[in-house]
Amino acid sequence: MLQSVNFFTSSFSTLVHIPKPSSTTRPRLTTLVTMGVSATVLLTVLSLLILVDHFALNYARREAQQRLQQLSWQMRDALNGAVRRATGDVQLLSSLPGVRAARSPAEVRQALESLQKTFPDYAWIGLVNPQGVVVAGTQGELEGADVSGRSWFKQGRRALYAGDASSTALAGQKPLSGAEQWRFIDAAGPLMDADGNYRGVLCVRLSWGWMRRLAQTMLAPAGDQQYSADLFVVRGDGTVMLGPPGSEEHQIYSDSLTMARGGASGALKETWADGHSYLTGYARSGNPADPATLSWAILARQPEEQALTGARALERQILLLGAILGAAMALAAAIVTRRLTRPLNELSHTIEARLVTTDALPTLPAIQPVDTFHEAQVLSRALAEMLRNEQHHLDALRGLNEKLESTVAERTREIARKALQLERALGQEQSTQQLLQERAAELRAILDNAHDAFIALDPGGVVRDWNLQAEKLLGWKRSEVIGQPLAAMMLPLPLRRAYERDMRQLAESADGATTVLSRRVELALHNRAGQELPVEVSLAYVPRSSGHLFIAFLHDISERKQLFASMEELALRDTLTGLPNRRALMKTLPEALQRANRSGQSCAVFFLDLDRFKQINDRYGHEEGDELLRQFAQRVRGAVRKTDTVGRLAGDEFIVILEMLANDAAAQEAADKLLPALRQPFTLKTTSVTLSASLGIAVHHPDDPQDIEMLLGRADRAMYRHKQQGIQQRARR
Ligand SMILES: Nc1nc2c(ncn2[C@@H]2O[C@H](COP(=O)(O)OP(=O)(O)OP(=O)(O)O)[C@@H](O)[C@H]2O)c(=O)[nH]1
């Protein structure tokens, strides 16, 4: 039963299609807007931070690299300047008359020492004679020493030369005053007299301490503020000449070194052998083609993290500032949003309050307009208008509801009626179903007890049903054949093809089905043992919704066939003598003629007729006559070959068919043998008789026409002539 619906028990929210607000699951507009604005502000600040951070770091890195590059250039220029000054001083000395035309070593020494005073970092200045022995040296050092093996002496003989002197080169000699750790820069050049004659080699030895001080000055330009960078001066073989503690006298490898050696200058970021990342400025001093210069690499490096210290500090400041700014903006957004959405909130609260209080009231409460800003004003007025409309609709719906209730009641009664009808129909359906089941059981029983075998086939020739009689007749159990193709199981091969063709035709044409199905056909099937079984089949066609069905009743006709065969046998036998009768002879004789034609060997027909047989009948009675006929037949049968045919034509007339004759005379020979045998006495029941028979011969040659009437006629006429001769002979006697 359907329940009627009262619209006026449902709530106002249902009528105006506004679902009741769920404050626990749905966030308020204020919250959403505040969260949205805050998230936007935070995202903006964060993006700005990332961008500023990225650009600040890149800028700081570039700045640091430029500083380091400039540092390497300054060091390079300082080294070049020092070497130029030393070689220039060698040239200056060689041009001084006090040196070129000195009369004593003391005079030379004086000139040398006055030069040393102008630049205290000259550790030693000396003049060497052409043999390589120091003639004069500042403070008398090394005078008399043999320096012919030194590079600067060998190179300085030919042209201006600059090179470094290691401690090993001075091994075994006392260190020069002011020298630092046995390391110097040597500048040497030839000394020529006024006439251009070679007078020896001048050497200026620059202390390494000068270079170290220069490096310190560069790294601490303001004196108290140390620039946290390392300076490397690297000789051509990669050995550090000047560098941070622990690196000197060791070889280094880096990309910047390779670049500097190639003559390039610049700055890059690279990882050094200690695994740290450095920014490195690089440059090369001197010129490899000029022996008066030092072609060394100058590297200025700074750990990347140190180079970016300032940028990192800026990064932290921006982060802090951004966080404060973001929080402030989010707070501001929340305040502004709250103020903006306040009218909407008021409207929402008003509606919620109405929704809660007016559920069961027939009249809807009014909505007060909100005038705070335009959109809220429009919204509140629209809602108020909508509510007025809804009130009209409510009134209309009330009327409709009353109509609907009566309609629903009517429909409910209608449905109850239909349900009752359906129930009855179902009851009928059940009884029909039961009837059908009973019919099916009856049919099954009929089929199983039927005298004939029953087989049902689907359109594909597959067995669908098989009764008990079919099991007995053909040998297969029902369970074995259901679902199997019939033809493959029990039809001989030639029949199977015809069967399949017929099945196809039946399946394709309904007309074909009726023509085939209206007939009874005899078939020879194979049973389970493989024996041939003659059956008479009557077919029926059962159309169904899901594919038609062929049903066949098979009747065993073995007995009928045997009876028919024995009747046919009887019809061809003479009942008195047991010999083939006239009908049989009329079938046998054409076959014998055909065989003669095929084999090419003649055959012959004897026409035999008993002489005066009527008298036997008349004198001794018919029974004795019959007996005589029987014995006569046996005697003829015994006097010819087994392959020859002996038959009784009628009364006392007999026919003998002789086949496979070697020649025409053979027939006569057979007759000559037969006739004497027939003249022997016949012992009957009451008496013994002797008689004769007349015999006519007709020979059929292979090429003769196949005319049995003509052949029998010839034999008959010959017999007649023979009989006439017999009569005449008896008359003469
Ligand atoms: N007992 C007996 N007699 C038969 C049978 N069929 C025919 N006959 C008799 O055989 C006799 C045949 O006689 P015919 O054909 O006149 O000739 P026939 O007496 O032998 O004289 P010819 O042939 O001229 O020598 C008839 O009297 C028939 O009744 C039979 O089945 N049994």
Q: What is the distance between the alpha carbons of residues 350 and 342, in angstroms, rounded to a whole number?
A: 12
Q: What's the rounded mean pLDDT across residues 42-53?
A: 81
Q: How far is the CA of 649 from the centre of ligand 1 (A)?
A: 13
CA dist 520 and 406 (Å) reads 70
Strand pairing class (240-242; 230-234): antiparallel
Report how far Cα 369 is from the mean position of its chain's Cα atoms: 67
- Rounded alpha-carbon distances, angstroms, from residue 418 to 276, 408, 411, 425: 94, 15, 10, 10
pLDDT, tens digit, 9 for 90 and up, residues 265-289? 999 999 998 999 999 999 999 999 9
Q: Is the pLDDT of residue 3 over 60?
A: no
Contact of 80 with 92, CB cutoff 8 Å:
no
pLDDT grade for 588, boundaries at 50, 70 and 90: very high
In the reported structure, the alpha carbon of residue 676 is separated from the centroid of ligand 1 by a whole-number distance in angstroms of: 21
Q: Taking the CB of residue 190, how many other CB atoms lie within 10 A of it?
A: 19
Tokens of 484: 């199997």
pLDDT at 178: 43
Quote the mean pLDDT of the chain.
85
**CB contact at 8 A, 629 and 622:** no
Among protein residues, the one with the nearest Cα to ligand 1's atom 5 is 651
Residue 89 has pLDDT above 80, yes or no: yes
Terminal CA-CA length for the chain: 132
Question: What is the DSSP secondary structure assignment for residue 170, as one 8-state letter?
Answer: G
Contacts of 160 (CB under 8 A, 6+ apart): 87, 90, 91, 187, 188, 189, 291, 292
Residue pLDDT, tens place only, 19-28: 555 545 677 7
Does the C-beta of 621 come closer than 6 Å to ligand 1? Answer: no
Ligand 1: centre distance to CA 625 (Å): 9
Smallest CA separation from ligand 1 atom 6, residue: 651
CB 127 within 8 A of CB 188: no
Residue nearest to atom 30 of ligand 1 (CA): 651
Pocket test for ligand 1, best of 581, 611, 613 (most atoms within 8 A of CB): 613
Task: Tell me the CA distances in angstroms from 688 to 140, 610, 680, 683, one per residue in order.
Answer: 197, 16, 10, 4
717 has pLDDT over 90? yes
Model pTM above 0.80 = no
Which range (285-289, 314-318, 471-475, 577-581) has the least confidence? Answer: 314-318
629 lines ligand 1 (CB under 6 A): yes
Q: Under 8 Å CB-to-CB from 549, ≥6 apart: which residues?
A: 456, 457, 458, 464, 541, 542
Does residue 633 line the site of ligand 1, with CB under 6 A? no
Active site members: 652
Higher pLDDT, 485 or 717: 717
Read off φ and ψ for residue 126, nearest 5 degrees: -145, 160
Task: Tell me which of 617, 689, 691 to substitute to probe ligand 1's pocket, judged by most ligand atoms within 8 Å of the beta carbon.
Answer: 617
As for the ipTM of the complex, it is 0.96
Question: Tell me: the pLDDT tens digits for 510-564?
Answer: 554 555 566 678 888 888 998 889 999 888 878 777 777 888 899 999 999 999 9
Average pLDDT over residues 708-730: 94
Position 324 pLDDT exceeds 90: no
Distances from the Cα of 573 to the Cαs of 53, 222, 304, in angstroms? Answer: 133, 159, 137
Please state, as a whole number, how many other Cβ atoms lie within 10 Å of the Cβ of residue 112.
25
| Rounded Cα distance, 308 and 266, in Å | 19
205 close to 147: Cβ distance less than 8 angstroms: no
Q: Is 612's C-beta closer than 6 angstroms to any atom of ligand 1?
A: yes
Q: 609: Cβ below 6 Å to ligand 1?
A: yes
Residue nearest atom 14 of ligand 1, based on CA coordinates: 614
- Least reliable range by pLDDT among 448-462, 471-485, 600-614: 448-462
pLDDT in tens, 631-675: 999 999 999 999 999 999 999 999 999 999 999 899 999 999 999
Closest CA to 69 of 268, 311, 309: 268
